Structure 1
Amino acid sequence: MLLEIDTRSETPIYQQLCDQIIVGIARQELAVGETLPTVRQLADELGVNTMTISKAYNLLKEAGYLVTDRRKGSIVTRPDPFPEVALLDWQKRLALLLAEAHVHQLSKEQAEAAIADIWQTFEKTNEQQTD
């Protein structure tokens, strides 16, 4: 999986990394059990501070997307289903995205089509992995 950083984005680099890794896991570009580059390796590769990579890895670890093994490093894992508190947080973030779509006059049908298209990218990669 190729990680791309947009230094001009308002989104912090650590958040860009977290987001891309989560999408990579959903699309199975990062397989469960796969070892990620070390903090130093990824920082050198992307040209960012090691603390930025460390922060992203720690947030992903706290959210259940990574586990750390002292000998192997950071390993991709699939998190448990949302606990109720996390599900409520996710619903709030989804509500904000849908509110933005509504304010910008996106129809319900357009929003549903966009969701279906994106969801299909996750299913396609899962199907390809099983073929």
Structure 2
Amino acid sequence: MLLYIQFDSEVPIYQQIKNQIIRAIASGELKLGEDLPSVRQLAADIGINFHTVNKVYNQLKQEGWVVIHRKSGVMINPDLKAEKTKEYIEYLDEIIKNISAEAYLRGVSKEEFMNIVEKNYDSYNVIKGD
């Protein structure tokens, strides 16, 4: 998996890494049970502090996307069963409120917005086969 980090972006580096790993899982680029690089290796590959990668891996672990074994390292959770919860729907609604408000203010039509959402959502049907 190749990560594309935009060092001049307003999005923090740790968030860019986390987002790209989650997208790679959803697209099937990263398979359940697949090993990820060690904290130090990924940090060296990208050219960032290892604490940043450690933060990403710990957040992914807390959210259930990865498992961390002291001896064997970090892997995509082989038993991944991300569930839709009431809390997640509320979180999703809040994110979409912000994104749709900015899109509206920038003149993106409802049709354009919905097409973008649909195109992106449909690109992730690899795992579930929806």
Does the pair score TM above 0.5? yes
Once the two structures are superposed, what CA deviation does each residue of 1:104-130 show, in whole Å capped at 9, x if it has no partner?
22111111111121122212xx18xx8
1:112 aligned partner: 114
Q: What is the aligned-residue identity percentage?
A: 36
Does residue 75 of structure 2 align to residue 72 of structure 1? Answer: no
Pairwise mapping of residues 77-88 of structure 1 onto structure 2 (< 5 A)? 77=77, 78-88=80-90
TM-fit CA distance, 1:56: 0.7
1:100 aligned partner: 102
TM-fit CA distance, 1:87: 2.1
Identify which range, 96-105 or 82-91, moves more after superposition: 82-91
Higher fraction of helix: 1
CA contact (8 A) 1:63 1:79 kept: no
Q: Which runs of no fewer than 5 residues in structure 2 stay unpaired? A: none
TM-fit CA distance, 1:82: 3.1
1:61 aligned partner: 61
CA contact (8 A) 1:34 1:75 kept: yes
Compute the TM-score of the two structures, normalised by the length of structure 1.
0.88
Amino acid of the structure 2 residue aligned with 1:39: V
Aligned residues: 126
C-alpha RMSD over aligned residues = 1.6
Q: Where in structure 1 do 4 or more consecutive aligned residues deviate above 3 Å? A: none
Q: Which runs of no fewer than 5 residues in structure 1 stay unpaired? A: none
CA contact (8 A) 1:101 1:111 kept: yes
